[in-house]
Amino acid sequence: MAINWTEAQIEQVIAQVINNLGGAASTVRNDWDSTQYNGRKLIGIYADMNDAIDAATAGYKAIRAMSLEEREKVIAKVRELCRKEAPIMAKLGVAETKMGRVEHKTAKHILVADKTPGTADIVAQVKTGDYGLTLTEMAPFGVVGSITPSTNPSETVICNSIGMIAAGNGVVFNPHPNAIATSNYAVDLINRASAAAGGPNVLVASVVKPTLDTAQIMYKHPNIRLLVCTGGPGVVRSVLSSGKKAIGAGAGNPPVIVDDTADIRKAAKDIIDGCTFDNNLPCIAEKEVFAFKNIADQLISEMQNNGAYMITPEQAGKLANIVLVDSKNPKTGIVKKTVSRDCVGRDAAVLLEKIGVKVGGDIRCIICETGFDHPFVQHELMMPILPIVRVNDIDQAIDLAVKAEHGNRHTAHMHSKNIDHLTRFARAVETTIFVKNAPSYAGIGFGGEGHTTFTIAGPTGEGLTSARSFTRFRRCVLSESFRII
Ligand code: NAD
């Protein structure tokens, strides 16, 4: 029997299928022009992925011909433009994706400009002995294919570009379709910086309309030697099955434990600051709290003093039915809950309004007491909703927090002054990032020591990626005579 579907119905089914593949339903939704900004044509943006790869290959050849000093000049210019244009990209990102907060996105760009390592991250190793000298250098892969998320779109493009260029690679991007205008603005920024600093006019490239098909072209193209993917489980899985060397930076669901030795007032403020940063979009942000029952009331009260609004279990149930929607796998027919893209990264006030609660601009987080099995604990929501689960002791806290992290081994947090508790949780949870007594963003160098990145590669083990993550080791053996002692 023939089915006569309307165009709208077909679009809806395509969106559903793509969504089940890995959350890219927006391919059919975003009609932002990704080729220009305010009438200015963006440089390095191609209609065809093959042309984008050709341009990135030419960029790679140009980098190979540049000295380290020249490369560093380009990177310095990228940093300068990134700092200067941070507010533009922050506003653009919020306007296009409807997610996050302008002031926080601005801060994220400045963090990228200031704390993404450049060429100094590339360090050669030398071994000398009876037989002479062996030199090991960190060499570029060639052209890197990078898939970037909607949650930190321009931040990831710039952070990846700095590291990949510092390592001597070319880069082609397949950005998130929901953030294509913002991502391509960042691609253009890199190219403007390159031209201004004496590099090629097109150093990095992207496409007008990224899709799963353009990603596939990237996976299969012989010039692409390394794939770097920052995104949810679907896309990381697909990149890791590509048959190419790949770096996968996937999902998290960071738990926080607060025990009864913590400075509760500070813990409450730190947790709310971290959880609400860019409306909880960063993959490292606090997603659920396990609080010792003897301090839970005080913790909740201090959170309320810091812009948290407490909802009842009934309201939490109602909100869960709005922020999580049924999604059916077309192959298996299995229906599972996924986050509603209309709720990810939205302000707390907007989410509260959906259950009929009106609050002022001072409310930045929704908190609620839940059991461990509540969907707010189990799902990576990426919105300023923070469930709090009471626990009896450290054994129960660690057991539940490790389970809630779902084996992502991404990020976990703890507020405590008990060294044994801190050590036990860090060992048990095995995350790439473990933050003690600070907001989550300290883990990526914002108010914490260490470099920054927006590509945290847990599954493939590079950790907080930097220029050296995008290199391959090459050895040169110099026989005899090169030892001076
Ligand atoms: P997403 O998973 O929806 O999409 C990421 C990118 O992958 C997009 O470009 C999308 O179009 C593309 N894509 C999706 N499925 C694909 C497939 N099967 N083949 C090829 N391309 C595909 O990501 P998002 O919603 O923008 O980002 C949120 C997710 O990313 C969260 O799970 C978050 O934790 C994670 N994330 C991780 C890090 C990290 O450093 N580990 C950083 C940011 C975001």
Q: Whose CA is nearest to atom 3 of ligand 1?
A: 23
Alpha-carbon gap, residue 149 to 99, rounded angstroms: 12
**What ligand 1 atom has the least distance to the C-alpha of 21?**
18
Best residue among 235, 279, 444, 466 to mutate for probing ligand 1's pocket (most ligand atoms within 8 Å of CB) is 235
- What is the rounded distance in angstroms from the CA atom of residue 444 to the CA atom of residue 441? 5
Count, residues in the chain? 485
Residue nearest to atom 36 of ligand 1 (CA): 231
Q: Is the CB of 455 under 6 A from ligand 1?
A: yes
Residue 15 has a pLDDT of 42
Query: What pLDDT was estimated at residue 483?
Result: 84
- Ligand 1 atom closest to residue 176's alpha carbon, by position in its atom list: 9
Task: Return d(Cα 322, Cα 341) in angstroms, integer.
Answer: 11
Predicted structure pTM score: 0.93
Strand ranges (E), 27-169:
36-37, 40-41, 45-46, 125-129, 132-140, 143-147
Q: How far is CA 256 from CA 17, 64, 333, in A?
A: 34, 45, 35
Q: Count each helix (H run) and each strand (E run) in the chain, helices first.
A: 16, 22
Q: Which amino acid is at 43?
A: I
Say if ligand 1 is within 6 A of residue 248 CB: no
Probe residue for ligand 1, chosen from 116, 146, 150, 338 as the CB with the greatest number of ligand atoms within 8 Å:
150
Indicate which atom in ligand 1 lies nearest the CA of residue 211.
Answer: 11
C-alpha span between 188 and 209 (Å, rounded) = 15
Residue 153 Cβ < 6 Å to ligand 1: no
Cβ–ligand 1 contact at 151 (below 6 Å): yes
For residues 82 and 113, the answer to whether their CB atoms sit within 8 Å is: yes
To test ligand 1's pocket by mutation, which of 147, 229, 339 has the most ligand atoms within 8 angstroms of CB?
147
Residue 279 has a pLDDT of: 98
Residue type, 240: L
Tokens, residue 263: 């400075």
**DSSP letter string over 274-292?**
HHHGGGG-STTS--EEEEE
- The alpha carbon of 390 and the centre of ligand 1 are apart by a number of angstroms equal to 32
SS3 content of the chain, % helix, strand, coil (to 5): 45, 20, 35
Starting at the edge strand found earlier in the chain, the sheet holding 132-140 runs 125-129, 132-140, 471-479
What's the pLDDT score for residue 17?
39
pLDDT for the residue numbered 383:
98
Question: Residue 11: what pLDDT?
Answer: 43
| Contact yes or no for 205/56 (Cβ under 8 A) | yes
Query: What 3-state DSSP class applies to 171?
Result: strand
- Would you say the CB of residue 283 lies under 6 angstroms from ligand 1? yes
Q: What is the Cα–Cα distance from 60 to 391, expressed in whole angstroms?
A: 54
Report CA(1)–ligand 1 centroid distance (Å): 38
Backbone angles phi, psi at 46, to 5 degrees: -120, 150
Closest CA to 282 of 397, 135, 168, 380: 380
Tell which residue, 418, 415, 405, has the closest CA to residue 299: 415
Q: Give dist(CA 58, CA 461) in Å, integer.
A: 30
User: Which of 151, 157, 284, 378 to mutate for ligand 1's pocket (most ligand atoms within 8 Å of CB)?
Assistant: 151
Percent of the chain with pLDDT over 90: 91
Instruction: Please tell me whether residue 346 adopts helix, strand or coil conformation.
Output: coil
**Structure confidence at residue 31 (pLDDT):** 87
pLDDT in tens, the chain (485 residues): 334 434 444 344 444 434 434 443 333 468 899 999 999 999 999 999 999 999 999 999 999 999 999 999 999 999 999 999 999 999 999 999 999 999 999 999 999 999 999 999 999 999 999 999 999 999 999 999 999 999 999 999 999 999 999 999 999 999 999 999 999 999 999 999 999 999 999 999 999 999 999 999 999 999 999 999 999 999 999 999 999 999 999 999 999 999 999 999 999 999 999 999 999 999 999 999 999 999 999 999 999 999 999 999 999 999 999 999 998 888 888 999 999 999 999 999 999 999 999 999 899 999 999 999 999 999 999 999 999 999 999 999 999 999 999 999 999 999 999 999 999 999 999 999 999 999 999 999 999 999 999 999 999 999 999 999 999 999 999 998 788 88
Q: How far apart are CA 378 and CA 361, in angstroms?
A: 28
Instruction: Assess whether the C-beta atom of 231 lies below 6 angstroms from ligand 1.
Output: yes
Task: Give the pLDDT of residue 29.
Answer: 61
Beta carbon of 150 within 6 Å of any ligand 1 atom: yes
3-state secondary structure of 207: strand
Q: Which residues contact 72 (CB under 8 A, 6 or more apart)?
A: 118, 119, 166
Ligand 1 centroid – CA 233 distance (Å): 7
DSSP 32: -
Q: Whose CA is nearest to atom 24 of ligand 1?
A: 149
**First-to-final CA distance of the chain:** 86
DSSP assignment letter at 145: E
